[in-house]
Structures are given as structure tokens and as C-alpha cells.
Chains A and B, each alone.
Chain A
Amino acid sequence: MTAERSPTAADTELHSDPAAEPDPNVDTLHAAVSDSPRPPRPSAVSASLTFGWRALLKIKHVPEQLFDVTVFPIMFLLLFTYLFGGALAGSTSAYLQELLPGILAMTVVFITIYTGVTLNDDIDEGVFDRFRTMPVWQPSVIVGALLGDAVRYTIASTMVIGLGLLLGFRPEGGAIGVISAVALLLVFSFSLSWIWTALGFIMRTPESLMGVSMLILFPLTFISNVFVDPRTMPGWLEAFVSINPVSHLVTAMRGLMHGTATAGDVIIVLGLSAVFVVVFGPATMYLFHAQQ
């Protein structure tokens, strides 16, 4: 029974700092393994909220991840307003009224990528498999992550709108208009995220996922009506812009913020959101179950 020839004993000493690592307490150990009756299974909502809480804890421990949602929108807003504002709209303040809803949409649409990246990280780390072996409503791990993301989107929206107001953004739709625009944006982003969750299962590394997502999002956000009036573009480009979901989102948000939105504008965005969820929700869950 000698252990001398075993590879464990001799070759692999990772960490051993006896002072820092008290032994497990044998008495409490036996108590701890013996009395743990299984509580009733939590509801789907409760499980999703618990996963949402996890996402918030991750923000707490890794606050750097908020860098993207705060610094980038501020940079973009200042840059475009003062660099191009005068040239594009005659004055920076006139341009800001058009630009701000677009920048807001663009910012939040971009950070939806992190949903997929986080998921991909979880799979890599192995924590995802632990959740999958637990008797909880299986989609709750993804729904919870998306709920946590909604918090991130809200933070980003608050930043952009706050800065906009300071710079002279005056929404004619008032507080209600702004809040409904943000609400619409959250619905759209939540729905769009299912694309990234599906991709999160397909791509092997967070880096490659990030690359693919950027490849999709750059054209979607820049070839849109965020920065300039599409009527100034060549016909073929204008055609793309007019079917781009981000353009529809920005049109509806501008309308809501300035009090000129039609029901049609909003319905198109809600319809697109529904399509995303209906197509990519089941695709995500299929990939979830096929996960190797």
C-alpha cells in the first residue's frame, strides 16, 4: 500500500501552505453530510431570479465589466456630437437631439454580446455543467443571465441619457417618452441576446465569439440611421438600412423620445423582438441540450 510510486504523491504539488488551510473538521463533517433534507424544487421564476442575482454578484466582483457600458457611450456621444454635429446638422445641439437615441440604442445593442461571452465563459469554466446537473428549470440559467444583463443595460441607458441632458438633449416626449424608449430598447436587447446565447454554445472560445459578434454588429449599428439620414446614401445602402432592425429600433426610440412615434414604429420593433426570441430561443435550448 505504499504511495511512493504513485504520481500523485511525488509529482504534483500545487499548493501546500498548511497554516492557511485548516483541516476539515471531522465531527462537523459528519454532521454536515448527514442532515440535509431536500427542500421543495424552486419555481422557474425563483430559479431565474437566483441566476440574475449571480449576474449582479459578478458585476460586484468584476466591476471592470461596467467599463464598456459607461466609458464607450460617453466617448461616442462626445465624439460624434462635437466632431460631426456642426457639419451634419448645422449645430451640435440640433445633431444631439437626433444622435442621442441612436447612440443609446447602439451602446446597448453592443453590450448584448456579453451575454454570449459570459455564457461561453461559464461553459469553459465548467460551472455551467454543474447547473445542468441540478434539478432546476433548465432555461433559468440563461433567463437569469439575461435578467442580470437588463441591469447592465439600464446602467448604460442612465449614463447616456444623463450625459445627454447635460449636453443639451431636450426630449419633447418628456420623461414618459424617454422611459418608454428605454423600455422598448430593453425588450429589443433581451430578444437580441438569444442570438448570442445560441452562438455562445456554438463558438469554442469567448474570443472567437466576440469576433463573430462584432462582425455582425458593426454593420448592423453603423449601416443604420444612427449617425446620418439614410437618404444621403447610395440606393443599395439605403435599402439595407431600411430593413436593418437597428434602424427600426432607432426610429421608434427617436419617435418615443420626441413624442412623434406611431404605433406602427413600435409594433415593428416588438415584432422583430418576437422573431428573435421565437427563432433563437428554441435554437439556444436545442444547443443547450446538445451541449457536449
Chain B
Amino acid sequence: MTERTSPTNAVDRERDSSAGATSTVSTRNGAASVTGDRQQDRGARGTTNETDPTDTATTAQTATETEREHPLAIETTGLVKHFGETKAVDGIDLAIPAGGIYGLLGPNGAGKTTVIRMLATLLQPDAGTARVFGHDVATDGDAVRRRVSMTGQFASVDEDLTGRENLVLLARLLGYSRAQAAERTHELIDAFGLTEAATRQVKTYSGGMRRRLDIAASIVVTPDLLFLDEPTTGLDPRNRNQVWDIIRALVANGTTVLLTTQYLDEADQLADRIAVIDEGRIIAEGTPGELKASVGSGVLSVRLRDPECRDAARDVLTSVLDAPVELESDPAALFARIEDSDRVTQALDALAESRIEVTEFTLGQPSLDEFFLEVTDRQTRGGADRDATTGDEMRQEGVE
């Protein structure tokens, strides 16, 4: 039921991202034309999941039947968690098979962390069920804890101890002998590039070192399922890439990863499938490609040499792109949401003809904000989209 991405694909995608802006444009053009015709039905599908919760519940059920011998890594039905009056998680259904990376994407306070905390046995669900490799998190916590590991803002290491001491402590708690614990610690410290820092207190670590130690602490015994709660929030690009490398190495070794992130591009880089969460509910689900295709081909950002020309540039772009052009906080930058990426080259030509010098341009996917606004907006317009019945809608009709 899932489109699995092999590690090789993941590497390809990474190469893609490191390519310059120019080649990105051509890739974009290609991608846009391929996905263009899928756009409508994907959009409709995101809506379907939201408007009819039984739809995803049915998916979960079917999965259980077909994969009885191999229980899903994660399976939740109608998961609910309140904090006082707030419904932090409001009926989440997930069916995540073992292997690969699954992303939970959403803004702060969407309920991502609460979902992970319930799955890691840190919180008891108020309603619904959650199973990890077939073990109920509410009644069989010990069995769950033997299979999972967690990294994130809420599961960290002891800042007063050194990196080495932290790892030895965890290794001992997991049952290693003194000698084995020392050996395993050495191996992890070496692999995670922490040799220099091993004997320093963790509170002296930089953000990137700290995050690597957090992850090392989670894989003293390689878990079958690893929860990564916003693993790269606050990291610079270099450290972020290192963390991504580590995650990919784990997945290549067979660990299933459930990742939460606020960043669409991170989910895009890493995840095989993504659930978009807002206000405790899943509002869209699919592969990164499907989700992006559902909100149009992207955003053109342009940065000018001379901020004085920005108004002129805005006029040129508005007329060529036939789309609203917005100003960025950078006084020399502006951007436009575009549906038709073919016009991008025309727009750049037009700027050149008007003698407006461009120092930088990118044609990228929509930011999470834009993506998010689009999805939630569509959700409120629900009825209209539901009429656009396509292949994906068939299943829903079957249910009703």
C-alpha cells in the first residue's frame, strides 16, 4: 500500500537538492508537467481524509488484514488526547508499515509531539488505540519500549555529564556489561564524530554535536522503530545534512523512522510518506510528490541587485506571470506563487529587457506556510473539492 523509496532514491534526491538554482529550474519544469495532471485528484484526496475519518480507518483495517503476519510498525485508530480543554490530538488514524521513513508534518502545536509521546508510552491516550509492532501502548508498554527509541526536545541526555558518560549510562541501563558498554560507547562516539567532545560536559556542546549525541543515545541498541521529534530544528544546514545522513544510514539498516518536522523540505528530503497534521487531525496524507503537486507548482523568488527597482520589477513580473507578486522582508526580494512554470523564463527575460538586474532567483516548492494555508483553505472549501470526484474518490464512495 505504500510507495517505498529505496535508499538509492534518497541519495538521488539529495543530489538533486544540492544542484544549483539553474538546474533546479529545469528539474522543476519537468516535474511540474508530470505532476500537473495529477494535481486535481491529489487535492481532492487530501480533502477526503479530512472530511470523512472513516476513510482512513478503513485503510488501516485493510492493512491489518493483508499484513497480519507482519504487524504494522505503527497502527493507531481514533487516537485522542486532551490537555484540559484543548484537544491536542483529535482522532488520528495511522497505518505505517515497517521500514522507511514516515513524516508527521505540521506547525508548532499541531499535535505531532503528542502523537509521538503516546506512541513512545510517555502519555496515555484518552481515547482510541495505538499499537507498535502489534503491542498496545496503553497495556503493553514494556514490550513497546523494547522495540522503540526516542529522540527529541522531550527525550534528551544529561547535560551535567559528559557525552561518554551519558552513553555508558544508557548502555548499562540497557543491560550491557561494563566492558561492552565502554566498547559500544567508543564505537558510537567514533561514528558520530564526537571523539573530541567525548570527555566534555554536554552543556558545552554546540547544537549540532548535541543533536548527534541525542541520536547516538537513541541507538545504543538499534531500535526497530525510532521516533525523531524535530531532529533538525535549530540546526544550520551543514549539521542538518549530517543528521539526515545518520537517519538514512539507520533506515538502510532496517530501522523504521517516524519523523516530525515543521519543514516541508525536510519531510520531502527524507520521508517516503507524509501525514500533514493541524489542530490534532490529519488534513492530508501521501507521498511528498503527491502533496506538493496538490498545491501548485511552486514559488518563484527573485532578488534584485538594486532595491530601488523593486516596484518596477513587481509590475513586470505581475504582467508576465499573470499572478500576484508579493514583497519579501528583504528590501531587494520579491516572490510570486505560480501555476505555470513555463512562464518563469519569460518573466526573467522580461526583467532583463527592462534592465532590472537579478542577482538570484529560485523556483522552489511552496514553503510549509503556503502549502499549509492552501491545504487548510481547501479544507474549509471542502464541499467544492469533493465534487471533483476522481479515481481516488472511488474508495470513499464505496464506503458510504
| Cβ 8 A contact of B175, one of A32, A34, A41 | A41
Give the residue among B13, B146, B220, B222 with the most A Cβ atoms within 10 A.
Answer: B222
Q: Using a CB-CB cutoff of 8 Å, which residues 326-343 of chain B contact chain A?
A: none
User: Is A292 in the interface zone, CB < 8 Å from B?
Assistant: yes
Q: Could you mark each residue 54-72 of chain A with 1 if its beta carbon is under 8 Å from any beta carbon of chain B, else 0?
A: 1001100110000000000
User: A129 near B150 (CB under 8 angstroms)?
Assistant: yes
In the bound complex, what is the Cα–Cα distance between A41 and B146 (angstroms)? Answer: 9
Report whether B237 and A33 are in contact in the complex, using a CB–CB cutoff of 8 Å.
no
Chain A interface: which of B98-106, B261-269, B305-313? Answer: B261-269
Query: Is A204 in contact with chain B by the CB < 8 A criterion?
Result: no
A130 to B234, CA, bound (A): 20
Separation of A31 and B296 alpha carbons in the complex (Å)? 42
Interface segment out of the listed B58-66, B89-97, B155-163, B345-353: B155-163
Query: Which of B21, B124, B152, B201 is within 8 Å of A61, CB to CB?
Result: B201
Q: How far is the CA of A24 from the CA of B246 in the complex (A)?
A: 8
The A/B interface has a contact count, at CB < 8 Å, of 221
| Smallest CB separation, A128 vs chain B (Å) | 9
Residue among A16, A18, A53 with max Cβ neighbours from chain B (10 Å): A16
Q: A33 is contacted by which of B150, B177, B249 (Cβ under 8 Å)? A: B249
State A153–B152 Cα separation when bound (angstroms): 35
Q: Does B115 contact A (CB under 8 A)?
A: no
Whether A8 touches B232, Cβ cut-off 8 Å, given contacts A26-B245, A32-B190, is yes
Contacts of A126 in B (CB 8 A): 152-156
Return the contact of A133 from the options B21, B148, B157, B192 (Cβ within 8 A): B148
Q: Is the CB of B169 within 8 A of A53?
A: yes
Max chain A Cβ within 10 angstroms of own Cβ: one of B165, B217, B266, B269: B165
Is B120 engaged at the interface, CB distance under 8 Å to the other chain?
A: yes
The listed residue (A3, A46, A57, A133) touching B165 by CB distance below 8 A is A57
Grouping DSSP codes into helix (H, G, I), strand (E, B) and loop, the B interface class, with mixed when no group exceeds half, is mixed
Query: CB-defined interface of B80-122 with A at 8 Å, one 1/0 digit per residue?
Result: 0001000000000000000000000000000000000100111
Please provide the chain A residues from 128 to 187 with a CB less than 8 Å away from any CB of chain B in the complex.
Answer: 129-136
> In angstroms, how far is the closest chain B Cβ from the Cβ of A130?
4
- Does B134 belong to the interface (CB within 8 Å)? no
Q: Which residues of A contact B175 (CB under 8 A)?
A: 38-42
Taking a contact as CB atoms under 8 Å apart, the answer to whether B367 and A6 are in contact is yes
Q: Which residues of A contact B201 (CB under 8 A)?
A: 61
Report B221 CB to chain A, min CB distance, Å.
Answer: 5
In the complex, which residues of chain A have a beta carbon less than 8 angstroms from the beta carbon of B165? 57
CB-CB under 8 A from A12, the residues of chain B are 233-236
Q: Contact at B24–A1, with CB atoms within 8 Å? A: yes
Q: Are A28 and B235 in contact (CB under 8 A)?
A: no
Bound-complex Cα distance A33 to B7 (A) = 15
Out of A3, A62, A135, name the residue touching B17 (CB < 8 Å): A3
**Bound complex: CA A24 to CA B235 (Å):** 15
Q: Mark B120-141, 1 if CB is under 8 A from A, else 0.
A: 1111100000000000000000
Say which one of B40-48, B206-214, B315-323 lies at the interface with A. Answer: B206-214
Shortest distance in angstroms between A265's beta carbon and chain B's nearest beta carbon? 40
Q: Are B208 and A28 in contact (CB under 8 A)?
A: no
Contacts of B239 in A (CB 8 A): 16, 21
The one of A18, A36, A136 in contact with B219, judged by C-beta atoms closer than 8 angstroms, is A36
Contacts A129-B154, A292-B83; A39 near B212 (Cβ below 8 A): no
Interface string of B230-261 (1 = CB under 8 A from A): 00111111111010011001101101000000
Cβ of A90: which chain B residues have Cβ within 8 Å of it? Answer: none
Flag whether B294 is at the interface (Cβ < 8 A): no
Bound complex: CA of A33 vs CA of B83, how far in Å? 37
Q: How far is the CB of A203 from chain B (nearest CB, A)?
A: 18
Find out whether the CB atom of A133 lies under 8 angstroms from the CB atom of B193: no
Q: How many angstroms between the C-alpha atoms of A37 and B180 in the bound complex?
A: 11
B237 touches A3 (CB 8 A): yes
Chain A: minimal CB distance from B393 (Å)? 30
Contact, CB under 8 Å: A1 / B242? no
Residue of A2, A133, A292 near B363 (CB, 8 A) is: A2
Q: When chains A and B are docked, how far (Å) is the Cα of A135 from the Cα of B149?
A: 10
Instruction: Give 14 CB contacts A-B under 8 Å.
Output: A1-B269, A2-B364, A4-B362, A5-B364, A12-B234, A24-B191, A26-B249, A33-B255, A42-B173, A57-B161, A122-B158, A130-B150, A130-B157, A132-B122
7 pairs of A and B residues whose beta carbons are closest in the complex: A15-B206, A32-B191, A39-B175, A14-B207, A126-B156, A2-B364, A28-B191
Give chain B's interface residues, CB within 8 Å of chain A.
13, 16-17, 19, 21, 24, 27, 83, 117, 120-124, 142, 145-146, 148-150, 152-162, 165, 169-170, 172-177, 180, 184, 187-188, 190-193, 195-196, 201, 206-209, 212, 217-222, 232-240, 242, 245-246, 249-250, 252-253, 255, 262-266, 268-269, 299, 301, 362-365, 367
Please give the residue numbers on chain A whose beta carbons come within 8 Å of chain B beta carbons, in ascending order. 1-9, 12-18, 20-26, 28-34, 36-42, 46-47, 50-51, 53-54, 57-58, 61-62, 122, 125-127, 129-136, 289, 291-292
Known: A4-B362, A28-B190, A46-B172. 13 other contacts (CB 8 A): A2-B17, A2-B364, A3-B265, A5-B367, A6-B266, A7-B367, A24-B191, A24-B245, A29-B191, A33-B191, A33-B246, A126-B152, A133-B155
